[in-house]
Amino acid sequence: MPCFHVVRLTKFNLQAFDNTALNVVCNQEYAQAVPHVHYHIVPAPHSHSNKTAVKSQEDPPESESSHQSMLKTELLLRSELDDEEGERLAKLIQAKL
């Protein structure tokens, strides 16, 4: 039944963040002392974020796929989440449960 719970939590994240762009990642055994399965549900940054991706030497060359380019751009739009913002977002999700 774990997939059912991932789907439910994903739905609540969509509602709480008002963002339909999510990355759902399943991690099993990779870099784990005790093998287990867990999921990360990560809202993608809004494309209208205040941050602007600046072209740099680290940007992917034109030969990279558009998918890789999109992932790179998404990474550049992310910012660190401080404790206060984390608590606020957790409360938004809990309110949807």
pLDDT at 77: 77
Q: Measured between alpha carbons, how far is 63 from 18 in angstroms, rounded to an integer?
A: 34
What are the tokens at 43? 């809202």
3-state percent breakdown (helix, strand, coil) of the chain, nearest 5: 45, 15, 40
**Which residues does 55 contact at the CB level (< 8 Å), separation at least 6?**
none
Tens of pLDDT, residues 67-84: 778 778 777 877 788 899
CB 96 within 8 A of CB 12: yes
Q: Measured between alpha carbons, how far is 11 from 87 in angstroms, rounded to an integer?
A: 19
Tens of pLDDT, residues 16-70: 877 888 888 888 877 788 888 888 888 777 655 434 334 444 554 555 578 778 7
